[in-house]
Amino acid sequence: MKPFKWGVATSSYQIEGAVAEDGRTPSIWDTFCQVPGAVAGGDNGDVACDHYHRMPEDVALIKSLGVDTYRFSVAWPRVQPGGTGPVNPAGLAFYDRLTDELLASGIDPWVTLYHWDLPQELEDAGGWPNRDTAYRFADYAMLVFDKLSDRVTNWTTLNEPWCSAWLGYHVGVHAPGRQDHDASIAAVHHLLLGHGLATQRMKAAATPDHSFGITLNMGTADPATDSEADREAARRADGMGLRIYLDPLRKGTYPRDMVDDLAARGTAFPVQDGDLAIISTPFEVLGVNFYFGQDFSGTDEHGALLDAAGHPVVRDVKPAGPRTAMGWPITPDRFTRLLLRLHRDYPGLPLVITENGAAFDDTVIDETGFVTDDDRTAYLSEHIAAVLAARDQGADIRGYFAWSLMDNFEWAEGYAKRFGIVHVDYKTQKRTPKQSALWFRDMITR
Ligand code: FCB
């Protein structure tokens, strides 16, 4: 059996705080948090978990959980304020110290270069819908790679480009909060191009020990009923959620049906000569973030096939059954199904689960801050079993990282939703492992 990594994951803006220290400039999330109504409770990442100042204590906490890997992200506006020009040594030094602290504790660092905190200046210049952002990303990636690649072997370019493109530029519930369908399609292509450019440049400077990849959030898209309309809606959802990323990355083409759908609404991926060769640069590991599977209907609540703008309806109807505090269905069987499908449709690509976890309404039971989160423990247990089931059936899965190390800033939900296996008291910044963390530690030992 190949070695299996056990880890915990976080991201920069969700935990670091210290948004104006050591030369960091604002990201699109700092800006978005100031928009009235954009984030629950008017919350922001100014302090978050204060990880920037408590990093050594947090690494000791990670070590106490018995994991061998820690997945974190690097904040672009810390390393290269404004998103262009020279490196900011004071900002990069934080990740240098973090890397050393992890290695000294026997924990393997797993770096994600982009987990949504785009420098605001690059958004002002057009953001991801602007082709130049892809080239800026590759330049930034090299600044980090040059500094850390002597100690960091695992490199992820992007976290969940679907969220950046779709939630950020089409739906508008994530930063930068734009609502422009065609801009989101351009963002998809430029995110993928940025991934490819960065991968090519890092690979040119890498040794055989380095491993590169991208993390996608994926689910399963089933038709709500067997009707033609629902099957069509599921096809569209699967295309927009999964195939428009994995087909260009692995096959060097956008899926024909999705290109036709986009043409029918008068838009297209802004592909230039050579782009797909760059995007399909081989990489070593696909990061899989899984939270739930979905069902889709091709009609609205009144039975109409087209929405107000005349576009086909693709309506997310959540499967029946238990839900998390996010309202997300709990569907571990679909996790197994997704992993086997990836193994079948995109062969030869090792998988690592880079995120999986759940928010529940935790209750602190004593003065130490302890939380008996049976629900989260069950979620983790069922989903780890689902991963191991897919592995037993032949999927090449190399690791599992729980989301998240600790409660943190959950984007548009602010601090109201807690995903941590460690409880954070935001008043005192005290960290207390929950029952799920103790279970995870004991499970890894076994
Ligand atoms: C994922 C994000 C991560 C976290 C979880 C709950 O989409 O990558 O930062 O918010 O969802």
Model confidence pLDDT, tens digit, residues 12-54: 999 999 999 999 999 999 999 999 999 999 999 999 999 999 9
Locate the domains of the chain by residue range.
Answer: 5-445
Say how far apart CA 120 and CA 424 lie, in whole Å: 29
Distance 304 CA to ligand 1 centre (A): 33
Average pLDDT over residues 390-408: 98
Atom of ligand 1 nearest to the CA of 163: 7
Model confidence pLDDT, tens digit, residues 113-148: 999 999 999 999 999 999 999 999 999 999 999 999
Say how far apart CA 188 and CA 115 lie, in whole Å: 15
Task: Give which of 326, 327, 330, 434 is closest to 382, Cα–Cα.
Answer: 330
Q: Which residues are catalytic?
A: 160, 355
At 15, list the tokens: 């935990």
- The pTM score is 0.98
| Overall fold of domain 5-445 | TIM Barrel (3.20.20)
CA 410 to chain centre: 12
Angle (CA) 443 434 442, round 5°: 15
Distance 285 CA to ligand 1 centre (A): 19
**Average pLDDT of the residues of the chain:** 98
Distance 216 CA to ligand 1 centre (A): 11
**Best substitution site from 411, 413, 418 to test ligand 1's pocket, by max atoms within 8 Å of Cβ?**
411
Atom of ligand 1 nearest to the CA of 359: 6
Confidence band, pLDDT 50/70/90 cuts, at residue 3: confident
3-state secondary structure of 410: coil
> What are the phi and psi torsion angles at 54 (to 5°)?
-115, 20
Q: What share of the chain is helix, strand, coil (3-state, %, to 5)?
A: 45, 15, 40
Residue 1 pLDDT greater than 80, yes or no: no
> What are the phi and psi torsion angles at 284 (to 5°)?
-95, -25
pLDDT number for residue 145: 99
CA 323 to chain centre: 21
Say how far apart CA 246 and CA 256 lie, in whole Å: 13
Angle (CA) 366 428 75, round 5°: 125
Distances (CA, A) of 187 to 137, 152, 216, 366: 13, 29, 15, 47
Distance 267 CA to ligand 1 centre (A): 29
Specify whether the CB–CB gap between 41 and 415 falls below 8 A. Answer: yes
Ligand 1, atom 9, lies closest to the CA of 11
**Best substitution site from 156, 288, 355 to test ligand 1's pocket, by max atoms within 8 Å of Cβ?**
355
Could you tell me which residues are beta bridge partners of residue 315? 297
Tokens 């930068």 label which residue?
A: 176
pLDDT number for residue 329: 98
> What are the phi and psi torsion angles at 122 (to 5°)?
-75, -35
**Best substitution site from 116, 157, 158, 289 to test ligand 1's pocket, by max atoms within 8 Å of Cβ?**
289
Angle (CA) 73 181 235, round 5°: 85
Tokens 């690649």 label which residue?
A: 149
203 residue type, one letter? K
Residues with CB under 6 A from ligand 1: 11, 14, 159-160, 163, 217, 289, 355, 403, 410-411, 419
Residue 395 pLDDT greater than 80, yes or no: yes
Secondary element (H or E) of residue 108: strand 108-114
Ligand 1, atom 10, lies closest to the CA of 410
At 388, list the tokens: 């191991």
